[in-house]
Amino acid sequence: MSESLLNAAAAKFDQAEVYRVESESHQVSFESNRLKEIMRRDTSGVALRVIDDGRIGFSSTTDAGREAELVDRVASLVPFGSEASFEFPEPSGYPTVDIVDPAVAHVAQQSMIDTGQGLIERLLDEWPDLLCDARIGWSTGRGRIMNSAGIDAEYEQTSYYCSLGAQLIRGTDMLNVWAGFGSSHLFGEAELDRLLQTVRRSLRWSKETALATANTGDLPVIFTPRGVGATLLHPLMSGFNGKNVANGSSPLGDRWGENIVDERVSIYDDPLIAGASGSRPFDDEGVASRRHALIDKGIAGGPLLDLQTAGQLGKTSTGAAGRGLASTPSPSSSVIDIAAGDTHFEDMISGVKEGLVIEELLGAGQGNELGGDFRANVSLGYKIEHGEIVGRVKDTMISGNAYKVLSQVEQVSDSAEWVFGSMRSPAIQCLGVEVAAKDE
């Protein structure tokens, strides 16, 4: 089917590309400490993108019965299409990336149920008042990209994931904590233990409530690996997105090669890491994957580019095209890898006289992320006094600018941890985070 669609399109337009995805997934979910639902999903669809007279046309469908319509539909769109600044690429060599574990698709439903049940029981043993949710599931996916320049490439990917959440209500005070992990490999006790430890630590640190001290950035804030993901990553990444760079809205516009943050900060986009969620041998336009320095020892590396944005900027694609079935490709990160430093996390905390630990935020991304700004309610964070965590803070907001905050790094922890399987980060202690809090 893909061949005939490509042939029909290639006969009619200057260039054509067919992208086809198929996936199968299976998930068990627990709600309020009990098994609630089992879901299976089969998904398939195809997208056609063409270049004709220098313009781009795009259409997609999940209706196998309407695939034949795609060529005509694209023909009616392409005269109005955006200008193409690229040509579909020719075949090239692809790296080998370990993203398939055949065992994943053979996980028995009962084993997933037992895993969820076991996690919840272990939490309830220690905290009988909790209401726990859990999701355990796997998926297998296959993506195929073909174009009129000769690419016909396909890869398969497996994924196994587990998330565990817990709610504790005391009076009108509600606490929600959770942890999750995903990998292309089936994982076992060691990873499940880590999830439990994360949830337990959050519960332990939240036993007491503490009041945050309002300040304009002169008190230190420690972002845990999840806190880095929740607070700093998005505002930072928007500056590296080829689209924002190409249309002039990235604050990094002309600062490539310059020092933009503290030299202890190194951030890579790395789709070659074995087992990580988001790793892949080539991107969604058939361009080979590579490890890409976003920030190397504080210096701005380069933007993430797909074919179109690379063409607009007079560069070559960095293999960063991502797409959903119903959307055209655009630059996106794959697996984010942030370099560890040299301070033990425990020593970071014990070295702080007064400050905050940020784990999760509510409402991040509503502000002006393009300029690197962040601001949000601290949905899970803790107060440090004299080197010890004294309790959870609530009714507290933080704000700042990711570039400025990462220029005021005080410490970077010596172990980088996986956050949900698609990002690896150490904890980072910084100044420059403004804290607003309710007076009580």
Per CB under 8 A, which of residues 391..420 are in contact with another protein? 394-395, 397-399, 403
| Residues that contact another protein, how many (by CB under 8 A) | 81
Q: Which of 7, 35, 117, 209 binds another protein (CB under 8 A)?
A: 35
- Distances in Å between the Cα of 68 and the Cα atoms of 48, 61, 65, 74, 187 are 11, 10, 7, 11, 42
Question: Using the rule CB under 8 A, is 140 a contact of another protein?
Answer: no
Q: Give the burial class of 48: count Cβ atoms within 10 A of its Cβ; 0-12 exposed, 13-18 middle, 19 or more buried.
A: buried
Q: Looking only at residues 327 through 346 of this chain, which bind another protein when binding is defined by CB under 8 A?
A: 327-328
Per-position DSSP letters for 99-137, written without gaps between them: ---TTGGG--HHHHHHHHHHHHHHHHHH-TT-EEEEEEE
Q: Looking only at residues 197 through 236 of this chain, which bind another protein when binding is defined by CB under 8 A?
A: 214, 216
Question: Using the rule CB under 8 A, is 128 a contact of another protein?
Answer: no
* Residue 358 · residue 393 · CB < 8 Å: no
Cα–Cα distance, 431 to 411 (Å, whole number): 10
Question: Using the rule CB under 8 A, is 75 a contact of another protein?
Answer: no
Q: Which of 13, 58, 86, 223 binds another protein (CB under 8 A)?
A: 58
Nearer to another protein, 283 or 337 (CB): 283
Question: Using the rule CB under 8 A, is 362 a contact of another protein?
Answer: yes
- CA 315 remoteness from chain centre: 25
Q: Looking only at residues 163 through 182 of this chain, which bind another protein when binding is defined by CB under 8 A?
A: 167, 169, 172, 174, 176
Nearer to another protein, 84 or 97 (CB): 84
| Six-digit token string for 353 | 């006289």
| Six-digit token string for 129 | 């008042």
Q: Which of 1, 3, 4, 39 binds another protein (CB under 8 A)?
A: 39
The SS3 assignment for 389 reads strand
Q: Looking only at residues 84 through 123 of this chain, which bind another protein when binding is defined by CB under 8 A?
A: 109-110, 113
* Residue 400 · residue 368 · CB < 8 Å: no
Cα dihedral 57, 63, 69, 75, rounded to 10, equals: -10
Q: Which of 1, 11, 82, 208 binds another protein (CB under 8 A)?
A: 82
The SS3 assignment for 340 reads coil
Nearer to another protein, 167 or 343 (CB): 167
Q: Which of 4, 76, 92, 350 binds another protein (CB under 8 A)?
A: 76
Task: Classify strands 15-31 and 267-269 as parallel, antiparallel or unpaired.
Answer: unpaired
Q: Which of 3, 83, 114, 218 binds another protein (CB under 8 A)?
A: 83
Q: Which of 117, 213, 343, 377 binds another protein (CB under 8 A)?
A: 377
Question: Using the rule CB under 8 A, is 373 a contact of another protein?
Answer: yes
Q: How far is the CB of 95 from another protein (least distance, A)?
A: 30
